[in-house]
Amino acid sequence: MATITFKGTPCQTSGELPGVGSAAPDFRLVDGELQDHRLGDYSGRTLLLNIVPSLDTGVCAASAKRFDEIAQAHPAVTFATVSADLPFAQQRFCGAEGVGNVVMLSTMRGQAFGRDYGVRIEQGPMEGLCARAVVIIDGSGQVAYTQLVPEIAQEPDYDDVQRALAS
């Protein structure tokens, strides 16, 4: 378990992020067309997972928009924002915010995702949602980078992520 905070109050996650160099856990996530996506769908491409609790919060929305901007400079990388929001809500968000460079994926059918990636919040007001994290998976399915944001109300360290993408 990892300890993060929500507005300063400590809470635990279901585990730890997968280790750099380890095989990324498979997942089942749903896109805006209600189609399932699995890790193997991205084989041969670098995949960046921007994991957020819900796009219906200012910090999550800001993170999704920032990664949408960063994605423009990395056409060889698939950027995906993963949240508990229903695919319909994700589509509305993208339309309203002009987000179009990232894939939106919902945990709607993939409840195991949070546990398998060690980001399921286990107690407190955000229990059951995913903690804020970034995971980069290389084209062979190996974890190349991880970042668990220690305070849910803060955005990721984008500079660190961009350094990882450049290496």
Helices (H), 15-57: none
- Positions marked catalytic: 60
Residue 122: helix, strand or coil by DSSP?
coil
d(CA 32, CA 108) in angstroms, rounded, equals: 11
**Hey, which residues does 10 pair with through a beta bridge?**
5
Residue located via tokens 């995913």:
130
- Could you give phi then psi for residue 58, rounded to 5 degrees? -60, -40
Contacts with 96 (C-beta within 8 Å, 6 or more apart), sequence order: none
Distance CA 86, CA 72 (A): 25
| Closest by Cα among 54, 59, 61 to 82 | 54
